[in-house]
Amino acid sequence: MDGPRFSLVHIQQRAYRVFNKETKLNRHDSKKLKDLAFPAIPYSENKHINVKGEKSPFDGDLAYWSERNSKLYDGETSITLKRQNHTCVACGLKLLSDERVHLHHVDGNHANWNSQNLIAIHESCHDYLHMSKSAS
């Protein structure tokens, strides 16, 4: 039998009091902490709704994401992205993630902004490229 001592409401009220006492926060913040500790909707349910409600690169709408991402960049990066069809030259994957896009100067000359000398790659691919270059 569940007595009042073990009911969820009792535990929540106790947690509320503990948060109030220990952190000396105002009522508003304590309420927020309580809500974080005991969300009204189970996390998995929330997640399900979010995934359905938002566009993701994996729902096949690549045009939308290419468009969205190229707006984050201007000038040479945007031009280079379009020329490469938004594909990373280093790893062959689409440059659609939130990872930053870097411009790499193929000949190593950072003053050479000739479009033939520029490739757009992921930030991590760029790091890897330079790491492997200095290693060899």
User: Residue 84 in 3-state DSSP?
Assistant: coil
Shortest distance in whole angstroms from residue 97 CB to Zn ion: 9
Q: Find the binder of Zn ion among 81, 96, 101, 125 (CB under 5 A).
A: 125
Structure tokens at 37: 């500790």
Give, as one character, the DSSP assignment of residue 110: T
Q: Which of residues 32-91 bind Zn ion (CB under 5 A)?
A: 88, 90-91
Any contact of residue 119 with Zn ion (CB under 5 A)? Answer: no
Establish if 18 lies at the interface with Zn ion (CB under 5 A).
no
Under DSSP, is residue 107 helix (H, G, I), strand (E, B) or coil? coil
Dist CA 38 CA 35 (whole Å): 5
The contact set with Zn ion (CB under 5 A) reads 88, 90-91, 104, 122, 125
